[in-house]
Amino acid sequence: MKEFDLIGRYFSDGGHTRKDVVIGIGDDCAVTNVPSNQQLAVTTDTLVAGVHFLEDAPAKSVAYKTVAVNLSDLAAMGAEPAWISLSLSLPTVNDEWLSEFVDGLYELTQYYSVQLIGGDTVKGPMAMTITAQGFIPPGSELTRSNAKPGDWVYVTGTLGDAGAGLDILQNKLNVAGEARDVLINRHYYPTPRVAMGTALRRIASSCIDVSDGLISDLGHILKASGCGANVHVDKLPLSRALTSAVDNAQAIEYALSAGDDYELIFTVGEEQRGNFETSMGGSSVKATCIGQLTGQAGQLSLLKDNQPFTPTNENGYEHTF
């Protein structure tokens, strides 16, 4: 199939349509309108088969995750997503696979009112690159570098599920029943915390999403902000599916270092804590306080029952070249 035939068949129609898109797919460039009094946030992520997703992963989940990880980056900055462009590399054209891929792509973009406005298709090893763009009111963007000693550390949702799901799929963990389905689903279909990200504007002092594991990603906040942290591992939010699949010690290990959960880690100053927790009372997304920042720059101290705790993996996931 020729490139423009592929684009025309699978990507030119369907999906969400936004009024701020002047020219979308079909020209050399997309043209969009940025609302007045808004800043543009831009992020790009590439997912490669065999590295970021299993080569036999369902096509729908590949598309879903490719979009979700980019929307999660926007959420971590407090941005409201608007547009994405997609560069798609495929070794061959498979009609069934592409149809399922498009279903996954449009399911998530429709839900978050995001429009696919362009991109590229090439023949090559399977990989997907998305550039996502969103809006932030000036001065309200979330960063990694504004946290202060004494700020409280929170995390959304539950941690460790996606890592356990991956181990199940790779036959490293034997789990049956409903827990198996839940954990695999969490690996295939992460939830970008977009609403939480926008709600944290002017409340959180720092924020990052959990892609490489809590130890690794919280470490980025500590480095950028010049802080340390005390984290109580017995306060980590663990799902019922994870705790029914493995013992507590292994569940904590997954939560600390497995990654791929795409929850948000954020910090809140003491002066904002009461208002934050009151406002979160009616939220459908749980946020759990797991520790507090210290003045010991770069030092992450893990505690269990208020005693020092040493995990099996002290670094989390890290890309190597």
Annotated binding site: 28, 43-45, 52, 73, 119-120, 144, 209, 211-212, 260, 317
- Phi/psi-derived region of residue 139, left when phi > 0, alpha when psi is between -120 and 50, beta in every other case: left
Q: CA 174 from chain center: how many Å?
A: 26
Q: Are 269 and 292 in contact (CB under 8 A)?
A: no
Q: What residues form DSSP beta bridges with 226?
A: none
How would you write 217-259 as a 3-class SS string?
HHHHHHHHHCCEEEEEHHHCCCCHHHHHHCCHHHHHHHHHHCC
Backbone angles phi, psi at 191, to 5 degrees: -105, 110
Contacts of 280 (CB under 8 A, 6+ apart): 287
Q: Which residue has the tokens 């890309």?
A: 319
Let me know if 205 is exposed, middle or buried by CB neighbors in 10 A (0-12, 13-18, 19+). buried
Cα separation values, 240 from 68, 178, 248, Å: 23, 10, 11
Provide the annotated binding site for ATP. Answer: 119-120, 144, 211
Position of tokens 């592409």?
98
Measured distance CA(31)–CA(28) in Å, rounded: 10
Count other Cβ atoms within 10 Å, centred on residue 314: 12
**Which residues make up each annotated binding site for substrate?**
52, 260, 317
Counting Cβ atoms within 10 Å, is residue 239 exposed (0-12), middle (13-18) or buried (19+)? buried
C-alpha span between 99 and 106 (Å, rounded): 11
List, as residue ranges, the binding site for Mg(2+).
Answer: 28, 43-45, 73, 120, 209, 212
